[in-house]
């Protein structure tokens, strides 16, 4: 057996491949908001930032991405979900988990199915929809990777 030390990441995964997987999992989550899809997506989206190193040599796109994520008011929700998902029992700061079913006036978007489950958390007294947090962060990555195709599923 050969011992390959790539010096980066897991085997030969690139940040673009991780982003592409996040987009696929988001599309699955959009159609079927299950805890397992939220688990996968939160870990991928949160840790992708760590794979994109920011340094003195970072370009404007990297700096803009990091600033956008740092300044996003609900990035803490993503961080907490990703970190909490590492443990069966809730550790660190966690939030009340909410599952809402059905069409939500002013919240539902094109492509949502009637009666679908929508996962949310109560964050500082405000109900925050995971789909919205995931979509915001994924859009920032899409801009960074210059992926101009929609992050949303084309067919439901």
> Is residue 151 situated within a structural domain?
no
- Enclosing domain of residue 42: 15-90+130-144
Q: Are the C-beta atoms of 118 and 75 separated by less than 8 Å?
A: no
Query: In 10 A of CB 40, how many CB atoms?
Result: 19
Domain count of the fold of the chain: 1
> Is residue 108 situated within a structural domain?
no
> Is residue 121 situated within a structural domain?
no
> Is residue 104 situated within a structural domain?
no
Q: Any bridge partners for residue 126, and if so which?
A: 123
pLDDT for the residue numbered 49: 93
> Is residue 55 situated within a structural domain?
yes
Q: Give the pair of three-digit tokens for residue 11.
A: 């085997």
CA distance 147 to 140: 10
> Is residue 156 situated within a structural domain?
no
pLDDT over 80 (residue 7): no
Q: Are the C-beta atoms of 45 and 151 separated by less than 8 Å?
A: no
Q: Per residue in 37-88, pLDDT tens?
A: 999 999 999 999 988 876 667 788 999 999 999 999 999 999 988 887 766 6
CA distance 19 to 23: 6
**What's the whole-model pTM score?**
0.82
pLDDT for the residue numbered 146: 96
């Amino acid at each position: 057996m050969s011992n390959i030390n790539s010096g980066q990441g897991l085997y030969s995964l690139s940040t673009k491949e991780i982003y592409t997987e996040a987009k696929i999992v988001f599309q699955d989550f959009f159609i079927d908001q299950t805890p397992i899809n939220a688990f996968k997506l939160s870990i991928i989206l949160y840790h992708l930032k760590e794979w994109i190193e920011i340094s003195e040599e970072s370009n404007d796109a990297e700096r803009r991405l990091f600033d956008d994520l740092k300044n996003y008011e609900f990035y803490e929700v993503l961080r907490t979900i990703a970190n909490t998902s590492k443990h069966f029992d809730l550790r660190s700061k966690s939030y009340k988990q909410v599952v809402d079913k059905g069409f939500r006036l002013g919240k539902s978007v094109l492509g949502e199915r009637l009666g679908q489950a929508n996962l949310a958390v109560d964050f500082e007294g405000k109900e925050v929809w995971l789909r919205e947090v995931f979509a915001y962060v994924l859009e920032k990555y899409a801009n960074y990777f210059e992926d101009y195709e929609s992050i949303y599923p084309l067919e439901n």
